[in-house]
Amino acid sequence: MIEIKDITKTYGSGEMALQALKGVSFTINDGEFVAIMGPSGSGKSTLMHILGCLDIPTSGTYFLDGKDVSKMEDDELAEIRKDKIGFVFQSFNLLPRTTVLRNVMLPLIYAGVDEENREERASTSLLAAGLTKTHFSHLSNELSGGQIQRVAIARALVNDPSLILADEPTGNLDSKTGEIVLSTFQELNEKQGCTVVLITHEQHVAAHARRIITLRDGVILSDHRNRPGQTT
Output the CA torsion 81→82→84→88 (10° steps): 70
pLDDT given at position 25: 97
pLDDT given at position 229: 61
- In a domain, residue 151? The reply is yes
Q: Which residues of 25-61 are buried (b: 16+ CB within 10 A; e: fewer)?
A: ebebeeebbbbbbbeeebbbbbbbbbbbbeebbbebe
Q: Count how many domains the chain has.
A: 1
From residue 58, alpha-carbon distances to 20, 50, 141, 154, 203 in Å are: 10, 10, 40, 33, 29
- In a domain, residue 80? The reply is yes
Count Cα neighbours of 184 within 13 Å in the Cβ-side half-sphere: 29
- In a domain, residue 65? The reply is no
Reading the chain (232 residues) residue by residue, the pLDDT tens digits are 899 999 999 998 888 889 999 999 999 999 999 999 999 999 999 999 999 999 999 999 999 999 999 989 999 999 999 889 999 988 878 888 899 999 999 888 888 888 889 999 999 999 999 899 999 999 988 888 889 889 999 999 898 888 999 999 888 888 888 898 899 899 889 988 899 999 999 999 999 999 999 999 999 999 999 988 654 4
pLDDT given at position 174: 86
User: Largest Cα–Cα distance of the chain, in whole Å?
Assistant: 58
Give the structural domain span for 208: 29-55+73-225
Helix/strand/coil for 196 = strand
- In a domain, residue 20? The reply is no
pLDDT given at position 36: 97
- In a domain, residue 39? The reply is yes
- In a domain, residue 8? The reply is no
- In a domain, residue 21? The reply is no
For residue 180, what is the domain's CATH number? 3.40.50.300
- In a domain, residue 10? The reply is no
pLDDT given at position 230: 55
What residue type is 86 in one-letter code? G
Q: Are strands 196-200 and 33-37 parallel, antiparallel or unpaired?
A: parallel
This prediction's pTM = 0.88
Contacts of 134 (CB under 8 A, 6+ apart): none
Q: Please say whether the beta carbons of 153 and 198 come within 8 A.
A: no
Nearest Cα residue to 91 out of 145, 131, 143, 19: 145
pLDDT given at position 192: 86
Contacts of 191 (CB under 8 A, 6+ apart): none
